[in-house]
Amino acid sequence: MYSTLSTTPTKITSSTTVFTGACSFRGFLIGTDGVNDPVITIYDGTSNAGAEIVPTATYDASQLGLNGVTGLNPGIKCNTGLYIEITCAGTVELVPFWVAFNPNNGSLNRKLWF
């Protein structure tokens, strides 16, 4: 049995455009400093002017582990791109999971792992 690996995992530590173009958002993991609660909002777009696909939420840093959500299958379709807004007084690391759409046939560009 195999699963879909969205992309090569990339860690982000501040607000950024993760991808430009159509894609499917699959989830994310958050690591914190254990003290400062990060506030995360995820948008369909290349800035925070896009449509929210994951509403603003505060994640409890005192959990001393990973927070987040993974396994959204088939995911949430983003038409313009994927922008993640992070607000945190301390240190936070977020790893987003997403798959780009193939512009030639509209399918997902998949990378498989076993």
Tell me the CATH number of domain 3-101, given options 2.30.110, 1.10.3470, 3.30.750, 2.60.120.
2.60.120
Q: What is the pLDDT of residues 52-91, one digit of tens each?
A: 999 999 988 887 666 777 667 778 999 999 999 999 999 9
Q: What is the pLDDT of residues 1-21, one digit of tens each?
A: 334 555 567 899 999 999 999
Are 98 and 19 within 8 A, CB to CB?
yes
User: Terminal CA-to-CA distance of the chain, rounded, Å?
Assistant: 7
pTM of the model: 0.82
Domain positions in the chain: 3-101
Grouping H, G, I as helix, E, B as strand and the rest as coil, residue 64 is coil
